[in-house]
Amino acid sequence: MVRLSQADARELAVSVFVRHGMPTSHAKDVAAHLVDAMVTGHAFAGLPRVPAIVAELVRKGPGGPIRVTRQTPVSATIDGGDVNGYVVSLVATDKAIEIANASGIAVVGACNTWFSGRLAYYVERIARAGLVAIHTANTAARVAPFGGADRILGTNPVAFAFPCGDEPVILDIGTSSVTWGDALLRQATGRPLEFGTAVDPEGRETADPALALAGAFLTWGGARGSCLAFAAQLFGILAGSDPVLREAHNSGFFFLALNPDLLMPADKFQDHVSRLREAVRRSRPAEGQVEVRMPGDRSQQARRELGDGEVEVDPTVHRRLLALSGARLDSECA
């Protein structure tokens, strides 16, 4: 593996994006998100995503202005200007925080955008502002509904966050058995998928990432995961998305942020969240298990343990990024 400082990893991503037309401010926002994904233990959602983002930039350009098209005291709709979703989602997140701080609750929808990364990144930002968050995103159709073989649904994650001192409780649930980013990473590094996660273009089960990318992913959790995926798809439509997205061009991002004070004193709510978390962590592990964790614990632990340390990048991915940045390949780190 290639080891990079977090600053160097961000700089490499920024250099690639800017070289392919992304404004520097946008490139810095996207790079920060990607490196945070690696810091929290989600390598597939980090630098391996860069080539796919670049491919979209080359195909459609960096996009236009991001505009709030409608706003009320408790809501806003945002036209993303066909700008990358990592950037548009930050705008929507901060608008939700702004409205909820003023009115107690905010419902924000964003559309005309594509690819948004880890939803946990955005709901954590809302929770750190002392607000409860719900966020869904629908994406290009890559997932078959339960019992099907055709690509109808996106990978459609759903995320929740609850304020709790310095470590909010974060729940980020993908509704597909495999993520698009993980499939791309496995294809790039020659690793198979798990069986039962995808079908090929003929509808046959496959562990080949290339055939899965050409075919369809399956929903996580069978019919239940399919139901969650439909909910995310419908919230995406509410936010302005097309019903079925055949390509990455008009995803719908739905955000809800609310102040706990609407229902109970915020400090009391955070105390109750903390007590629940501690009860879970102190509970007895089942036979064969080492400990019981709260959702999000593993990511937060990874961030604490790594601190300012280096992140690891697969050599194949690193060489690809150096090539995309225009750097000499013989300058690659050992």
Over the chain (334 residues), what is each successive 10-residue block's mean pLDDT? 97 98 98 98 93 93 96 98 97 98 98 94 98 95 95 95 94 92 86 94 95 95 94 96 83 97 97 96 95 94 95 94 82 42
Question: Can you give the pLDDT at residue 328?
Answer: 63
Question: Can you give the pLDDT at residue 6?
Answer: 98
Question: Can you give the pLDDT at residue 331?
Answer: 44
Pick the CATH number of 65-176+219-282 from 3.90.420.10, 3.30.1370.60, 3.20.20.140, 1.20.1430.10: 3.30.1370.60
**Identical fold between 1-62+309-334 and 65-176+219-282:** no
Residue with tokens 């505009």: 67
Cα end-to-end span (Å), the chain:
8
Show me where the domains of the chain are located.
Answer: 1-62+309-334, 65-176+219-282
Neighbours of 254 (CB within 10 A): 26
Cβ within 8 Å of residue 202, ≥6 positions away: 215
- Could you tell me if 216 and 198 are in contact, meaning their C-beta atoms sit under 8 angstroms apart? yes
- Rounded Cα–Cα distance for residues 35 and 41 (Å): 10
Structure tokens, 22: 């992304």
Question: Can you give the pLDDT at residue 248?
Answer: 67
Neighbours of 180 (CB within 10 A): 24
Exposed e or buried b for every residue in 211-248, given b needs 16+ CB within 10 A?
A: bbbebbbbbbbeeebbebbbbbbbbbbebbbbeebeeb
- Rounded Cα–Cα distance for residues 250 and 244 (Å): 10
**In CATH, what class is 1-62+309-334?**
mainly alpha
